[in-house]
Structure 1
């Protein structure tokens, strides 16, 4: 199973160094779930849906980093007024791009489509020999 260690705190957020090995997707989802439950101990239906979206999108971008990015090495989570912000850094500078138009019948290739549909905003930035993919999800109330 993938492991992670918490790095120095990021403002109101959390930052984790990842080993990038097998289990890294589940580990990032668990770390994100823990942070969301700490930040939102009592949730209404709208918050629960948004938290589910965050967990799904974490799974998608970490999976993409693992499959296409070479090595996911950092997860950063932060919160602001009404918004959760997530970023995953990996060792590939290749820009995320869809593999053709979205087709619901495909067994894979839905990650960027889901980012477009479920996040308030998303993007990526090159740094050194790698990149960071980030997204933000609005939290109601």
Structure 2
């Protein structure tokens, strides 16, 4: 099932990816551990700017899914050619990622705009009982 993307988030599958890290998450309190794991892996040879963008995108996507996604959250960071794919799945298949409109920035809700700005491509799709939101980040 594919739906409308809603305000700039295209309904599309991500590029093929391989290798990487995967987490099953149930609470935002797990995100510091996830960030530490990503840092350990990327400090071994990745550019600092890519690491920082990746951590921010992963944190925004995972926290959105944990807060609004209906449970069963899986987060993954994988390689796709010369880029990195961040994909976060949750159980809310009926609600597309929808950026906040006409909201005071102090109320939050700007994470999807940030993810779109930091990535070279992004999208979402529904497969069975899971919705996946994804973003691709490239070095530089």
Q: Same fold by TM-score, threshold 0.5 exceeded?
A: yes
Q: Provide structure 2 residue ranges, at least 5 long, that are not aligned to the other structure.
A: 1-16
Q: Aligned residue for 2:55? A: 55
Give the alignment partner of residue 34 of structure 2, picking from 28, 42, 51: 28
CA RMSD of aligned residues (A): 2.1
User: Where does 1:1-80 land on structure 2 (aligned, <5 Å)?
Assistant: 11-16=18-23, 18-37=24-43, 41-43=44-46, 47-80=47-80
Q: What is the TM-score of this pair, normalised by structure 1?
A: 0.75
3-state SS of 2:106 partner: coil
- Equivalent residue for 2:117? 117
Q: Is the 8 A contact 1:28 1:75 kept in 2?
A: no
For residues 135 and 123 of structure 1, the distance between their equivalents in structure 2, rounded to whole angstroms, comes to: 7
State the 1:128 CA deviation: 1.8
**Which whole-Å CA distance do the structure 1 matches of 2:109 and 2:34 have between them?**
20
Gap regions ≥5 residues in structure 1: 1-9
Q: Which moved more, 1:106-115 or 1:71-80?
A: 71-80
2:7 equivalent in structure 1 = none
Could you tell me the TM-score, scaled by structure 2's length? 0.75
Taking a change above 3 Å as real, the CA distance of residues 51 and 98 of structure 1, as seen in their structure-2 partners, is same
Task: Give the CA deviation at 1:66.
Answer: 1.1
1:39-92 deviation digits (Å, cap 9, x = unpaired): xx245xxx2112101000111001110111122521221113321111111111
Q: Structure 1 residues 24 and 135, CA, compared in 2 at 3 Å: closer, same or farther? A: same
| Corresponding pairs, count | 123
Misfit runs of 4+, over 6 Å = none
